[in-house]
Each structure stands twice: as structure tokens, then as C-alpha cells.
Amino acid sequence: MTDALEIGENLQHTLKSEIGCSGTGLHTGNTVSIVLKPAPEYTGIVFRRTDKAGNNAELEALVDNVVEATLCTTLGNDEGIKIATVEHLLAALAGCRIDNVYVEVDGPEMPIMDGSAAPFVFLIECAGVVEQNKTRRVIEVLKRIEISDGDREASLSPGDGFSVGFEIDFDSDAIGKQDKSVRLVNGTFKGEISRARTFGFAEEVEQLRKMGLARGGSLDNAVVVSGDKILNDEGLRYDDEFVRHKILDCVGDLYLAGAPISGHFQGFRSGHAMNHAIVRALFSDPTAWRYVEGEAVVAEPELMLATA
């Protein structure tokens, strides 16, 4: 028998036990397996390519290691080791307050699962979460930082805890304009964001596959839009599933800061590249942020702390 306690607000956390799964890579179309393993304090999120030999097969989940941002976030190093489509798992780890974990992957891309972060949240819940002996280190935003690229904008501002606001505007009757703001506390990531799936347009599939992308995409792992119609038989999980997924991606990309952020992100038509860029812009101004110890930023009360 085990007792269950609420997760400590201010301490680092890892998994109680290792757990794995297999699935299809969205862009490669190959079957890939992953194993999540507990890691010591201050490890952070570390990806390991188990199909590659040597220490160079490890990649820390840090914005400095991002090498590509076309339709997904790809980590890489100077040795040519890459792992793509890491953002959904990172979002689940951020939402579940996992500070330290090893992620073993036997290929160059994470499995897409159902196109959302919900399967990874389920894995984390099944593995269990344990407190560690060191306090969390949080990045506190001290002043507003903003960037733009044409009609795309992103900003980070001081805020109470971690919140994300996002607006999208697509020339598609099925999507159109959507906006949503979420403060990520008290289970809102799991309850409101984690199930939102990635999406794409039917008319772009052939071109993407010529580019070596979306080879594993299907109606089982993405919302597919054709004109003003949703092609998935079950339709949408939320009326605004598209903007919710953008928030999901953003949560994962911002976790590449290397620690939870205390502040508010606001994005307009932002994507992976701008999400990475706003983290770099924050770090480039030493007056815009500071580390603080022991702050609770994202709390998921549904996840219970298991103790022997």
C-alpha cells in the first residue's frame, strides 16, 4: 500500500519509476519508442538517442540546443544528433511540474501519439511523481520583452505565476480568429490544454511530404482541415481546439528556458520560432529576469505524490 500526498509546491520533482511507450513519428512516419526515467536534482530534461553511441547522443532540453523550428521543435548538437517534435512531451512535463527526467528515444523524432500532450500526461501519472530534496529554481520575468516579425508578435511580461494568452487568425472558415488566455494553475493544463491536437491543411499535405515532413500524419494524430470542413469523423475536441493547441506548443517551447517561467506570455500568430526567440530575447537582457528559488509556478493537484 502507498499513501498519496499533494505534490510539494516548492520542491523539484521527478518520476517515481520509469515508463515507456511507442508510436509513429509525425514527420518521419517511422515507429519510435521512448522511455521516461527518473533523474537526480538539477538534471533538467535530458533526451538520449539510444540508437546512437557515446555521450554525444545526449541533448539537454534548452533553447540553445534548438536547431530547427519548421512545424516542430528540433533539438540537435554539433555531432549531428537530432531529436524532433519534442514540444508535446515538454508541455506535459511542464504542466505536470516534472523538473528532472531522462527521455530515451530510439530514433530521430518523438512519437506523435494522438497529436496532443494528453498521452504523455497519462504516462507521467502512471509512472508517479516524487518530491526531491532541492527547491525549484524559477525564472521570474521582471519587465516586458517583446519581439515581432511582420504581423507576428510575442511578448513576456511580469505576472502572477505562469499564464499564456494566444490569438490566431487563419484564412480558413474552419478556424478563423480564435483567442484564449489560460493561467496554468490548479490543473488547467491537463483539463483545458493537454488534449488539444496538432492540426494541418489537406491541401498542404502533398507539398509537406515532398519536403520530407508529415509522412506519419493521419486523421488519428492530427486535426485535418479542408476548406471549411474538419475531415476527422469525430470532429473537434473543443470549439477552439486550434488556439488551445498553439498554447500547448507554447508551454512546451517555453520550458526550453531550462526552468519554469513566472510571467505572462502573449502571442499573436506566433509559432515555434518566435516562441524560441522570445526566450532568447529575455535571456539577452539581464535586467529583464532573475532566478528565484522555491516558487510554485504550475500546480497540478490531480497528480498525487506517491510515497513508499
pLDDT digits (tens, 9 = 90+) for 249-305: 999 999 999 999 999 999 999 999 999 999 999 999 999 999 998 655 544 434 444
> 164 and 47 in one domain?
no
CB-neighbour burial class of residue 54 (10 A; exposed 0-12, middle 13-18, buried 19+): exposed
What is the identity of the amino acid at 193?
I
> 178 and 72 in one domain?
no
- Please indicate, yes or no, if residue 234 is contained in any of the structural domains: no
Q: What percent of the chain has pLDDT over 90?
A: 77
> 109 and 12 in one domain?
yes
- Please indicate, yes or no, if residue 227 is contained in any of the structural domains: no
Q: How high is the mean pLDDT in each 10-residue block of the chain (308 residues)?
A: 44 97 88 97 97 85 97 94 97 97 96 97 98 96 97 96 96 94 92 96 74 73 91 95 98 98 97 98 98 64 41
> 142 and 36 in one domain?
no
- Please indicate, yes or no, if residue 152 is contained in any of the structural domains: yes
> 67 and 118 in one domain?
yes
251 closest CA partner among 145, 158, 136, 161: 161
| Single pTM value for the model | 0.91
pLDDT (tens digit per residue) in 20-51: 999 998 877 899 999 999 999 999 999 999 99
> 161 and 65 in one domain?
no
110 closest CA partner among 187, 27, 180, 178: 27
- Please indicate, yes or no, if residue 202 is contained in any of the structural domains: no
How many domains does one find in the chain? Answer: 2
> 303 and 188 in one domain?
no
Q: What number of other Cβ atoms are within 10 A of residue 75's Cβ?
A: 23
Assess whether 272 carries a catalytic annotation: yes
Phi-psi group of 46: left, alpha or beta (phi > 0 → left; psi -120 to 50 → alpha; rest → beta)? beta
> 181 and 68 in one domain?
no
Q: Of 245, 264, 272, 276, which residue is the catalytic one?
A: 272
> 34 and 21 in one domain?
yes
- Please indicate, yes or no, if residue 232 is contained in any of the structural domains: no
124 closest CA partner among 91, 169, 157, 149: 91
**CATH number of the domain within which 109 lies:** 3.30.230.20
> 170 and 104 in one domain?
no
> 262 and 153 in one domain?
yes
Residue-number span of the structural domain to which 158 is assigned:
138-197+239-293
> 121 and 156 in one domain?
no
